[in-house]
Amino acid sequence: MMLLAAVCTISTVAANNAQYQDVNYSLDEFTLTAEVIATPKASGELFLPEQIIVGQHTYTVIAIGDKAFRGCKTLTAIVLPPTLQRVYRSAFDGTGIMSNKANWNEGCLWIDSVLIATDKAIKPKFIVPEGTRLIAAGAFQGNKTIQRVELPTCITRIDHETFRDCKNLQKVVIPTTITSIGEDAFTGSGIYNNDKKWKKGALILDDCLIATNNDLPAQYVFKNKIPIRLIAERAFANRKNLKSVDIPATVTAIPAAAFYNCENLSTVTIPATVKEVGNFAFYNCPALKKATLPTDLEKLGMAVFYGCGSLSEQVLSEKLEVIREATFHLCRNIKHISLPSHLRRLEAGAFAGCSALEEIELPTTLTFLGDQAFAGCITLRRVTIPQGVPELPKQAFQGCTRLYRVDLPEGIYAIGEEALDGCVALEKINLPASTFRIGARAFHNCQQLNRIALVDHIHIIEECAFMECKMLEEVKLPLNLKSLDLGAFAQCISLQKVILNDSLQHIGDGAFCQCRSLREVVWNDAIQSIGTEAFFDCKNLPTPIIVDPSITVGKNAFKGCKEKR
């Protein structure tokens, strides 16, 4: 099959994945980029587009992921887009492209100036030609012929496992144009296994810190004659003895997982030259107390400080417009944090589990609030949601047990699933007139919520939405509600009066189950069905007389109610 357009419109979408012409893509909504993922039906000739259009967004195709076309024996050719930034060798394992010897030249498999793979026919001393735009992750992996490699100045990255297990590799010339080195790029190679290459627990090649081992001193200071200019991904990962690090001013980025799981790391000095901190950089560093970010930091990756339970404060650069997923997840010691005044996105779980966080001021520029953003912030007391945020997302404040007030703006269309589940101190919330949907268990176990005005624009109240709201006394269902889901007001033990709107047709199973104070229901003429145990054990509610035989009444719908009047 052949795709002829540089920009393709996607017709099949599921979650954050999309499919077009049997090619599957993973979508990143933050960067608006796409990666080709497992595509078992790929065959013939493929022309990958530069961009794909999904809904209202255009995504740039930048990567071909691990094992993307693996085993596609009938895939014989592929044209790679100029936007490609990463490709894995494993993407073409077992394909017709890989098995066709005509595609190989002197031990190298090339596709559109991308070096995909090598074999034993390669020259022991190999110069990667200028004009090579990418070298695939794992391109040289396990090659026992290669002894020396010179990289061209047109290459900017040495990707994951590029030279892994190249047992006879003794030298790689790394040009200054290289700005990043992936994890395990040299692990198991002749260079990595040469003890003479290691100095004080560190492997440094051409002013790049590649890796460290258990000989690394607890207080590590870079003292190379030639200043270190970059640190490879996971370079310090799992160094249990490491307690402090001074990063030199020649470094401009802390890469992904650089200090991953350094359990005893307590202090990191980050110079002002650092503009980017990669994903998981300090993930699970529970002893980390100080890692002051530069005031000019431009990018802060996801889960950077995940599990840093000793971190008590952090100042965020005003240049940051996004706080990524789980950035401060389980930072249990942070009490206060000031968000950048131009923040646009606060993503899923960004501050989840920050149990000491007492207050947060969300900037007016915020337009996206992610799922579980503040879940488990048990000390948080009050929050105002900015005007530009369209919904209160799933589990946004779940388990915030001291949260007593949430101010919602006009424009909010939905209260997501379990958004305020377990907010036992929540006393009052005003739903904007724009509210359309209240998600499942949205207000579950909000024990102090004594009243709520259900605005007429609400069309959907999902299952167990107000279950166990023990102080709620009266409910008037919204004008446009036609169906009330399972357990919507179950176990609201103080509920005394329910006014059904004129449009309500269906009362779901257990909708008012065990509302033992319920004395009055104002019925309408539109009711068509009353679900199983809908009013079960409402012992103060007189059993209504159902005279219309067309109304379906479920089993035990009124069991435990007062006898018929």
8: three-class secondary structure by DSSP? strand
SS3 content of the chain, % helix, strand, coil (to 5): 0, 25, 70
Write the CB contacts of 56 (distance below 8 Å, at least 6 apart in sequence).
none
Instruction: Give the dihedral sign, CA 318/322/327/331.
Output: positive
Q: Are 332 and 358 in contact (CB under 8 A)?
A: no
Structure tokens that stand for 222 in this block: 């870079």
CA distance 129 to 132: 6
**How many residues make up the chain in this entry?**
565
Enclosing H/E stretch for 99: helix 96-99
> How many CA atoms are closer than 13 Å to the CA of 481, on its beta-carbon side?
26
Per-residue pLDDT at 562:
87
The CA distances from residue 394 to 349, 390, 419, 420, 506, in Å, are 11, 13, 5, 9, 26
CA distance 459 to 455: 10
Q: How is residue 544 annotated by DSSP?
A: P
Task: Count other Cβ atoms within 10 Å, centred on residue 484.
Answer: 25
CA distance 88 to 148: 22
CA distance 510 to 271: 60
CA distance 174 to 56: 42
CA distance 390 to 388: 6
CA distance 531 to 510: 7
pLDDT in tens, the chain (565 residues): 233 334 444 444 445 899 887 899 999 988 899 999 999 999 999 999 999 998 889 999 999 999 999 999 999 999 999 999 999 999 999 999 999 999 999 999 999 999 999 999 999 999 999 999 999 999 999 999 999 999 999 999 999 999 999 999 999 999 999 999 999 999 999 999 999 999 999 999 999 999 999 999 999 988 767 789 999 999 999 999 999 999 999 999 999 999 999 999 999 999 999 999 999 999 999 999 999 999 999 999 999 999 999 999 899 999 999 999 999 999 999 999 999 999 999 999 999 999 999 999 999 999 999 999 999 999 999 999 999 999 999 999 999 999 999 999 999 999 999 999 999 999 989 999 999 999 999 999 999 999 899 999 999 999 999 999 999 999 999 999 999 999 999 999 999 999 999 999 999 999 999 999 999 999 999 999 999 999 999 999 999 888 788 999 999 999 999 876 4
